[in-house]
Structure 1
């Protein structure tokens, strides 16, 4: 299984940079970002990346549900439900945890784990009620 991080400009590359610093480089993780070159350019670049994954499974992590990267990724999930999953709300703990599971975990288990991590990593250390 492969991991693709698809976000608006700056986020995916930042997540991969932080991942690589903390856990080391992982060739099974790729990224694509929507930039000011526009949606058409993003769609073309996205299609090129997905060509590489034709023979395998890919978990796509996006930043905003219903944002452009998410909607384009969702199209691929609908066309290839047997080998593509899309999870929105990507964060660094999600990327770190999933990067260690890419070889052994199933696509559905990885998608479920991404959701679990995303939910569990949101916390407030000290909350003062007014």
Structure 2
């Protein structure tokens, strides 16, 4: 199973770079950016990338933004080949970490999709300040 990250600009390349800091060996994960070269250039490179992955099992594509050009271009190809492609949006590092680990050991792409969506949503939160209810107690870590 392969994972392809797509985004506006270099967002997907940055997420992949961060992923490789944690998992240096990630041959099944790649990135494809929509650049200022335009949509037609992106279409050509997307088709080339998908063709290069042909015969290597299912492909999970993670896009940055629902309804954005990278998402829409992949979605058009999903409609043509739904048995091979899956598409999620809201690309973030927690999503990729969970899906990447699972994809390296699983054959069920739909389970990987569910994990990716759940991890991506769970990875978004606001920081909370600690409560000051009383005297500070020393934490016992053991």
What TM-score range do you get, normalising by the shorter chain? Answer: over 0.9
Report 1 or 2 for greater relative contact order, CA contacts < 8 Å, sequence distance ≥ 6: 1
* Deviating more after overlay: 89-98 vs 26-35: 89-98
Task: Confirm whether residue 67 of structure 1 aligns to residue 68 of structure 2.
Answer: yes
Give 1 or 2 for the bigger CA radius of gyration.
2
Q: TM-score, normalised by structure 1?
A: 0.93
Contact 1:3 1:28 in 2 (8 A): yes
Which of 117, 120, 123 is matched with 2:119 structurally?
117
Query: Aligned-residue CA RMSD in angstroms?
Result: 1.1
Contact 1:6 1:62 in 2 (8 A): yes
Matched with 1:30 is 30
Q: TM-score, normalised by structure 2?
A: 0.85
Matched with 1:93 is 94
Question: What is the CA distance between 1:120 and its match in structure 2?
Answer: 1.0
Structure 2 runs not aligned, ≥5 long: 130-142
Number of positions where the alignment pairs a residue of Structure 1 with one of Structure 2: 127
Q: Deviations over 1:43-85 (max 9, x none)?
A: 0000000102222210000000010000011111111111100
Spell out structure 1 runs of 4+ moving beyond 6 A. Answer: none
Report SS of the residue matched to 1:101.
helix
